[in-house]
Amino acid sequence: MAGITTEDKHLVVYVVSDSVGETADFVTRAAVSQFDTGFIIRRVSYVNSQAHISEVINEAKEAPGIIAYTIVLPELKEALVREASKEGIPIVDVLGPMMDTLAKVSGRVPKMKPGLLHKLDRNYFRKVEAIEFAVKYDDGKDPRGITRADVVIIGVSRTSKTPLCMYLAHKSVKAANVPLVPEVKPPEEIFGLPKNKVIGLTIKPELLNEIRQERLRTLGLKSGADYASLERILIELDYAEGIMRRAGCPVIDVSNRAVEETASKVLEIIRHSL
């Protein structure tokens, strides 16, 4: 491509795939890591039409850019190569040479189906949906998540509610979490859920005091703030205990417990309701 020179500050590498595009993305990033600066990677996934290919070509033509691709559908691959060649855009077939060699040596014909490496089955979509759910309904942002969740985690600040919900999401469990703060009335929805769909987290006061003190230091704030005082922590834990008692939910002590261990306990509690 005539417009690309070694003096260009930013060269865009379009990673194009008729599936997720993780393979081409990984190879491209590995190659780019060998250079100090000057590259931007843009992944274009699920390319399934001539129109989509034309959009990519038009962008790459203006960027300037090059294209790295893992397209296995013959008609789309041919269209991409043809259009890129027509516009003088450099193009790299990440998967093709290996597939061609394997076919030649083995005498077998490849399936030519996109997405076989990262098969987008029902479990994959459940996991993605659960991760998006955990992000959307983190920290009580939207009370609607409480009734839509597989499990709702409640507890005071710094009891690892968010890491727990993200871990559960990777197990395809939709988890929302609600912080319990004495000055804020908890959502009424948590009191109407089945008992095994709400789980409370508690922690030893002294340990929570250490965790919050460290949090303040990390933020560059004074360790004497009320947030980290033992007196305040005892008030919060007492308040949270009352809410959990009212909800009638199971309670897990997360003191010195890894997130994986807590998640295992949660899964054990809710396994019959999923």
Per DSSP, the residues of 191-252 read: GSS-GGGEEEEE--HHHHHHHHHHHHHHTT--TTSGGG-HHHHHHHHHHHHHHHHHHT--EE
pLDDT given at position 117: 55
Exposure string (b/e) for 133-165, b if CB count within 10 Å is 16 or more?
bbeebbebeeeebbeebbbbbbbbbbbbbbebb
Distance, in Å, from the CA atom of 222 to the CA atom of 35, rounded to the nearest integer, reads 42
* Pick from 74, 62, 50, 51: nearest CA to 14: 62
Q: What angle do CA 63, 68, 70 make, to 5 degrees?
A: 140
Q: Where are the domains of the chain?
A: 11-106, 122-270
Do residues 254 and 203 touch, judged by C-beta distance below 8 A?
Answer: yes
pLDDT given at position 4: 43
Same fold, 11-106 and 122-270: yes
Do residues 104 and 144 touch, judged by C-beta distance below 8 A?
Answer: no
Residue keyed to tokens 């001539």? 50
Pairing of strands 151-155, 65-70: unpaired
Q: What are phi and psi of 43, to 5 degrees?
A: -90, 130
Write out the CATH class of domain 11-106: alpha beta
Positive or negative torsion for Cα 129, 141, 237, 272? negative
Do residues 200 and 252 touch, judged by C-beta distance below 8 A?
Answer: yes
Residue 12 forms beta bridges with which residues?
40, 65
pLDDT given at position 3: 43
Token code pair at residue 86: 């027509």
Do residues 190 and 143 touch, judged by C-beta distance below 8 A?
Answer: no
Do residues 127 and 172 touch, judged by C-beta distance below 8 A?
Answer: yes
Q: What is the mean pLDDT of each run of 10 residues along the chain (274 residues)?
A: 47 88 85 82 90 92 88 88 94 83 82 60 80 94 92 97 96 96 96 94 97 89 84 97 97 95 95 65
Distance, in Å, from the CA atom of 7 to the CA atom of 4, rounded to the nearest integer, reads 8
pLDDT given at position 218: 85
Distance, in Å, from the CA atom of 173 to the CA atom of 16, rounded to the nearest integer, reads 31
3-class DSSP state of 55: helix
pLDDT given at position 1: 41
Give domain 122-270's CATH number out of 1.20.120, 3.40.50, 3.40.1350, 2.40.160: 3.40.50
